[in-house]
Amino acid sequence: MTTHTTSIATPLTEMFNLRLPVIAGGLMWLSDANYVSAAARAGILGFITAATFPDDDDLRAEIRKCRDMSEGNIFGVNVSMLPKLVPGEKTEDVFRLIIEEGVKVVETSGRNPEAYLPMLKEAGVKVIHKVPAVKYAIKAQSLGVDAVSIVGAECGGHPGMDMIGSFVNSAMALEQLDIPFMIGGGVGHGAQIAAALTMGAAGAVIGTKFLVAEEIWAHEDYKQRLIAAKETDTALIMSSIKNTVRALANDTTAEVQTIERTEDNITIQRLLPLISGQIGKKAYETGDCSKGVLSAGHSLAFVHAIAPLNDIVTELETQALQAIERAASLHATLKMSKAS
């Protein structure tokens, strides 16, 4: 295992031997062994998305490939559980496979993980549960998860129905949680990592900023579209079916917004021809970003160039350390002012 030089020590870096207190949140279709192992080698915590590999053999092979490429550094698996149990759901089987493969940390989301905690705890697997608001983090804490990630309204993907911003989530979590928490949603600059830490967070969750990493397999035209985009180039859709998503504004989001504005009693079946994950996957493959729900958050403001993931992490680290130095300088100035 690589012993990373930790420039900013927090409960997150100590728990997983990380260089920087950053989680690379699971990205549907994109978080594969190449990307996640790059995160591991860069000294942050990444997660293979289990839903990207619905066949057990494929998921097992991807985990083993990631282990081979991670040079002994830790990585995890993201298990996005459906909001409600459906016939044939195999979440428990996925967790058993993860345990069999010796994975030591999972990122869970989408539903209360209580039913699976005993088997994960018995196997020594750390559980980081991802939620869109502090009230859900409090519940997860009561169940015994090891840590929570709270992703606010600015995030790409699922910001929840309450749409609470990351700045508010941070201070609320400081007041109401005892377990380590991470803050996500619009985070794409190291100064934001530092700000989250000063408000008590153990780290930050980053997704959109990493979408242009060289190790992400998506088409270059897709990445160039993100680079050209501004923080205002996202759209909120699917609140009509109580599953709000923030995505890159395109023809699909415009059409869905029209349906939600003009029709009543909308169902998932009505929207599925537009929002199917397969459409988004095709956009990643072809670079045509006009169709599909392509998750992206306000941190598009900080997406500037295609680069190796390690370079992006280094940039974030430099920015975070500069921000911490500014904070220390403010404190020193305050003490001098009081002394005089």
CB atoms within 10 A of CB 138: 16
Interatomic CA distance for residues 138 and 112, integer angstroms: 12
Instruction: Give the domain CATH number at 69.
Output: 3.20.20.70
Give a yes or no: residue 224 inside a domain: no
Instruction: Extract the residue ranges of the chain whose pLDDT is less than 70.
Output: 1-3, 83-88, 332-340
Give a yes or no: residue 256 inside a domain: no
Give a yes or no: residue 335 inside a domain: no
Give a yes or no: residue 74 inside a domain: yes
Domain span at 167 = 11-213
Interatomic CA distance for residues 276 and 125, integer angstroms: 32
Residue at 222: amino acid letter: Y
Give a yes or no: residue 298 inside a domain: no
What's the CA dihedral at 259, 262, 265, 270 to 10 degrees? -20
Q: What integer pLDDT is reported at residue 5 of this predicted model?
A: 81
Helix (H) or strand (E) holding 129: strand 126-131
CB atoms within 10 A of CB 102: 12
Interatomic CA distance for residues 274 and 238, integer angstroms: 11
CB atoms within 10 A of CB 123: 15
DSSP H helices, the chain, are 11-16, 33-42, 56-69, 91-100, 117-122, 134-143, 166-176, 190-198, 220-228, 251-262, 268-275, 277-286, 309-339
Q: How far apart are the first and last CA of the chain?
A: 51
- Tokens 């079946």 found at: 269
Conformation bin of residue 268: beta by default, left when phi > 0, alpha when psi is -120 to 50: alpha
Number of structural domains the chain divides into: 1
Give a yes or no: residue 145 inside a domain: yes
Is residue 315 within 8 A of residue 303, CB to CB? The reply is no
Is residue 19 within 8 A of residue 5, CB to CB? The reply is yes
Average per-residue pLDDT in the chain? Answer: 95
Please state the separation of Cα 103 from the chain's center in Å: 18
Interatomic CA distance for residues 321 and 323, integer angstroms: 5
Give a yes or no: residue 120 inside a domain: yes
- Mapped onto helix, strand or coil, the DSSP state of residue 59 is helix
- Tokens 């020594």 found at: 124
Q: What integer pLDDT is reported at residue 86 of this predicted model?
A: 58
Give a yes or no: residue 2 inside a domain: no
Give pTM, 2 decimals: 0.94
